[in-house]
Structure formats: C-alpha cells, structure tokens
Amino acid sequence: MRLYCLSDDPNLPCFILTVNGRSILFDFPLPMDHLLDYLPVPSPGCFNRFSSLPKYTLLSHNKENNLPQQIDELRILHNQVYVSSPIEFYTLDSSQYDFSLIDIILISNYETLLGLPYLFKKYEHLNAQIYLTEPTYRFGQQLMYELVNYVEQQSKMIQVNNQWRSDLEIFDAIEGQQNEKKLKILAYAQKLMPCYSIEDVDKCLSRATVVHFNEQIDLYSSIRASAISSGYCLGSCNWQLDINVNHNQTSKIEGSSSQTNLARFIYMSSSTTLETHSSKFMYDSFLNCDYLLLSNLSRLSSVDPSVNASELTSKIETILNDHGSVLLPCSSTGLIYDMFEFLTKFFEQINLLSIHMYFISPISNANLSISNAMSEWVSEQRQTASFSGTPPFKHNELIKTKCLITIPSDRLDDTENLNSFEQRCVIFTGHTSLRFGPVVQLIEKLKSSSSNGIIFVDNQFSYIEAMKPFQPMNMKCFYLPIETRLNFSQANILLNDKIRPKSVILHERYANEINKNDKMNLLTYRKYDNLKLPKANRSFINGQLNITGEMKSKYIPSANLAIASVHGHLDMCDYVYEINELNDENGKEKNLITYGKIDIDKFLINLSKSGLFGLEVKQLPGYDDLDDDVVGNDQSNRSVEIKYNHGAAKILLRLKQTDIECNDPVLMTKIRDALLMDNIGTL
C-alpha cells in the first residue's frame, strides 16, 4: 500500500492511495494562492481604474535581445507588480503520475472538489467514479457555477494576452528582473489554464455517485468505503476504508465489520468538534485504526472562534451606530448560514431590527433553497425541528421580513444597485480574494467613508495583501477570522486519548505540533513523496462462502457444535467459495470426520469392553505441542503409547494427533469402535 502526495499545503489536501493494484484519489481542490498576484477586475458597466495603471517595463539591457520594452499584462501599483488579465488557474496533478489510471475519487467536502472539471478535461480517458455526499455535490456544483460566472464577467472587461509567459525569453527576463519581489504566479505561470466552463462542470459531475453517511460502498471486492460525518459543513465527511490485507485485489469482504483480516484506513480532513449547523463529528469507528491520514487542520491554532464571533458583533455594532455599512467578504455557503441567524439574534438584542442584510451572489437563491432541503445533514437539534415541519434554517422567514435581501447577480453596476448600500446595512458577498465578483465594486463604493467597515472572517488569503490594490482607503478594516476546524491541541487529544491509531500520516509542517507516543507510528510527507505504508498483517485468510439453497436444507445444525459436514461440489473464484449439490449417486456416500479430544481413561475402558486385554500403557515424557491454553496436569494433554498382544496393535495418542498401527482388519475395527464409542464425535 502506497500513498502519493500531490500538494505541499496541508490545507489543500490531495492524495493518491494505491492498494491491491487500484488507485484511489482523495480530493482534488483548486489552488488559489496565486490570485492575489492579479489586479481586481470590476464588473462590466463599471469604471475600471486599474486599466490605466502603468505597464511593467523591462530593463534597458534587455533591449539587446529584441524583447519588448513594456509588458501589457503586467501593471505597476504601489511599487508592486500585478497581473492584469482574466484569472486563470493551475491544478495539482503531476506528470509523474498517470491520472487516467485512477479508478475511484473520494471527495470530503464541497471545498475540495473545485479542481475536478480540469481533471476530466485534461485526461480524456479518465473513467473514474466520484463518490460524495449530496450536499457536497449540490453546493460544489453551485460554487463552480459561481466561479465560472465571475471569470466570464472578467473576460468582458479585459483582453487576454499570454505572450509574457508563453515566450520563454520574455518570461526569463521578467523572472530575473523580479528576483527580490517575485510574484507567486511565476512559479505556476506555464501551468495556468483558462477557467473551465459550465459544460465541463456538468460533464465532470455526471461521473458522481451520491452516498449517505455510514453507507458501506464496495469499491472493489477487497475494499469497502464509508463516508463518516466530520462536522465541518453540510455533508462534509471523513473517509473510512476497510481493506482486506491478506489477499489480492479480488478478495471479497464479508458483511461483518469485525473481520480481523481487515486493515482500517482513515482519511481525516476538515473536521470540527464545535457545534454548528451541520451534523456532528463522528469518530467511534476510527478507534485503534491501522492508518490515519491527517490533513486540513486549522490555520490559526491560537484563535478561539467564539471570541472572534463576539468581537465581530461588537465591531458591527460600532460601524452601524456610526451610520456606516459593513462589508463581509465570504463564501456563498457554509459559515454564512450561521452568521445570518447569529446576527439576527444580535440585532434583536440591541434593537436594530431595521438593519438589512444583503446576500449578493449569482447562486444566492439556489444555495438558500438547497440548504433548507438538507434536513438529513444538519445537526440533531435542527433535524428534530424539521420533523415538525420547520425548515432547518430561518432563511425564508428572514427574507419575508426583509431582514435578509438576496441579489442573485454576478455583478453590480454603478447606479441603481450600488445606491442601495448607501444606507447602513450588512453585506455578504464574494470573492474572498477581493479580485473578482461584486466585492470589487462595493469596496470602491464604500472605501471613501470612515463610517464604513470591512471585516474579514475568512483566513484563506492574507487580508493585508488582498486590500493593497484598493489603497488608500478611509473605511475601517478588521481581521476576525472564524475558524472552526480542529486545531493542534484538539487533534492531539483526539489522536492520543481517543482514536489511538497505529500509524498517523501527516504533512511535515504538522510534525512538531502533533505529540507522538510509543504506540503510534508517525509518518511525514512532502509534496510528491511516495510513501510506502507499513504492513498491517492479519492472522488468517478470509473468503466468502456461499451454500446453495438445496444444500442448506440438507444439513442439520447440532446444538453446541461450531462445525458441520457439508457434502457437495466446491467452486472457487476470486476467493469466493460456492458449494453446490452433487448430482451423481456416488456423491451420496459419506466419509465420517472425527473431532474432539480423547479421554484416555475412558478409551482404555472401552478397549477392554471390546475384548482387548493385557494392554501395555506407557506415558511419554513432555508435551508434543505446548499451546498457550494447555493446562498443568490435564490428563487429556498426555502423550501415551498403548501396545496390544506384543505389538499386534500400537496406538500413539498425542494432544492433536492419534496414530494407530495394525495389520489385522478385525482388530482395527475393534480399536476404531472403542475410539468412537463415547470419546469423540463424528460428522
């Protein structure tokens, strides 16, 4: 069993597990760390002040190489270089691995599937089946639709010209000139691709199979998977694989979950023990697992989300009391549902019920509708309420009372829509990178007034770098990240005191933070590492036995007996055994099978009853097979030699074997009858 690691960021998990000749891909997120190298692009119809920025100029000595003096796609702002073009993306796949060989893709939440359309677009022969929960499917689809809409709006505002990165001489000159202030995008420039299309999204998701929590899915005959709730967001899960370690790839797993020849592999990503709107984190089946792959812990181990949530309300109250508006860049699903209800209660407490909350996104209405249809996936308290006909969330009620106003648009123009936000309000919109989406217009609109404020609750991007292109600005800026994922302290308690896995696999950045104990093997990885996992040996071979209906009706189980004699034709294929009835008459003859331990004293009495007198009995020294369950002076454990009539018959009794030497058929029959009289049984 091997694990191939495709990402250098533990918060961007992507792995390939190869086991029994099969390849399983865990998650395929879309890297966005390079987005801050781009200039913000406003929506069509809005003034784009960034388009007039000075172009990047190559140094004069480059003119000798006939290189252009200026690069149109690179602009200078605040003495920093930015890319001025529609945003493009790169993916985590590597030329070191043939992705067309992947059989199965397991997705843990809607944040970790955004790169999948690229995978199916790049690898035409990829025929993998995707497994994910329904909320992951539905919200992931909407988030990809939103991304496509945002980038399409960008393309209407600026033209694409990739000469600066497609011409290696120009690219090398830029890279050399930027040796002190290198753009992150330079490391991926040659891999960048235009955003996928709606058709690409739908084609990718046509390969998806929706699963429920704790549903057992037979990926192959020797590997069974289950999605276990991780508590992070609606439908988020950790994946549990039960793997038959004693056989080849066709070994069948039986229905029992307690098979001792199964190795348990846990992929744990984005989990939380905090109580949120989603179903709680479950880990009972992880206890004492063989392997635990740990990823996507909190980026901010020292931050208490409850403290920041309290501070958030305080800052919002301050801004609103100053007659300003609050801008909250955030994702269009997830934490935003909790914040709607949290802020509504807060406004009731401080008597600010007239304040409007705006949710601006092309998928705002769709996501609110989907979330209220996900009663199976919410917390137990919300599930109980939904049984009585109450929706899991209060979106509909908030919309009816105009506390929450949705604007299902991918852009805002300079007139009507933007004027609505001159009155004090709270605005939820994206994108959190501040490089595209309605947030670009809103910052430009609100930044001139010191009464307004922007509050960052997402920690995926550096808020300082995200705000740089919009400087100077008078609006207040606060960083109050609300991070619910497990931190290192919580992870240590979970691993060492509760789950206690035999082997933990984690990124090398986590190595110094996770406490190791003597019973836990710690394996670390870096990008492109190919780890060979330690073997999880098991004591016996497993298979599946099927007995046909005709055969079942012919054998009679006996009380207190754990074995039975079955007479039929045995077929074996892929370690699945099948016994069918024999048609020939000769098949009806039975050869009895003996079982049980011999009581030597009773056996000697039975020999006398059969007419065998003058027996020479000799006890042999020691035990021939000392098992752990052999007890002191138990007479049944003696090794004894019995001779009759000067060697006419010789019987050697051992703990696990009885040998009879006799050439006289009549005498042999008498010994056999004495042996079977009441010492042992037959089948």
pLDDT digits (tens, 9 = 90+) for 570-607: 877 655 678 887 765 554 555 556 667 788 888 888 88
Reported as half-sphere exposure (CB side, CA atoms, 13 A), residue 292 has a value of: 26
Q: How far apart are CA 210 and CA 306, in angstroms?
A: 33
User: Is cis: bond before 194, omega within 30 of 0?
Assistant: no
Q: How far apart are CA 160 and CA 318, in angstroms?
A: 43
The distance in angstroms from the start CA to the end CA of the chain is 42
Decide: helix, strand or coil at residue 649: strand
Report whether 358 contacts 426 (CB < 8 A).
yes
What angle in degrees, to the nearest 10, is found between the helix axes of 335-349 and 305-321?
50
Q: Which two tokens stand for residue 283?
A: 């880990």
Q: What does the pLDDT read at residue 249?
A: 41
Helix (H) or strand (E) holding 4: strand 2-5
Report whether 682 contacts 593 (CB < 8 A).
yes
What angle in degrees, to the nearest 10, is found between the helix axes of 134-155 and 198-205?
160
Decide: helix, strand or coil at residue 244: strand
Q: Where exactly are the structural domains of the chain?
A: 2-32+87-155+193-299+488-532, 305-479, 544-588, 594-682
Q: Which residues of the chain have pLDDT under 70?
A: 60-65, 67, 160-161, 179-180, 246-260, 410-411, 413-420, 537-544, 549-565, 573-576, 583-595, 622-638, 678-683
The predicted-structure confidence for 247-289, as pLDDT tens digits, reads as follows 544 445 555 444 567 899 999 999 999 988 999 999 999 999 9
For the chain, the residue count is 683
Q: How far apart are CA 327 and CA 309, in angstroms?
A: 15
This prediction's pTM: 0.79
Measured in whole angstroms, how far is the alpha carbon of residue 429 from the centre of its chain?
Answer: 28
The predicted-structure confidence for 287-319, as pLDDT tens digits, reads as follows 999 999 999 999 887 788 899 999 999 999 999
Number of other residues whose CB lies within 10 A of the CB of residue 529: 14
Architecture of domain 305-479: 3-Layer(aba) Sandwich (3.40)
Q: What does the pLDDT read at residue 349?
A: 94
Q: How far apart are CA 234 and CA 573, in angstroms?
A: 42
Q: How far apart are CA 613 and CA 179, in angstroms?
A: 104
Decide: helix, strand or coil at residue 321: helix
Helix (H) or strand (E) holding 171: helix 168-177
2-32+87-155+193-299+488-532: CATH topology: Metallo-beta-lactamase; Chain A (3.60.15)
Q: CA 188, 192, 195 angle in degrees (round to 5)?
A: 145
Tell me the chain's radius of gyration from C-alpha atoms: 35
Q: How far apart are CA 242 and CA 255, in angstroms?
A: 11
Closest CA to 195 of 359, 14, 41: 41
Q: What does the pLDDT read at residue 223?
A: 93
Q: What does the pLDDT read at residue 479?
A: 96
Q: In what order do the strands lie in the sheet with 70-77?
A: 55-57, 70-77, 80-83
Q: Strands 291-295 and 262-269, how do they pair?
A: parallel
3-state SS track over 486-504: CCHHHHHHHHHHHHCCCEE
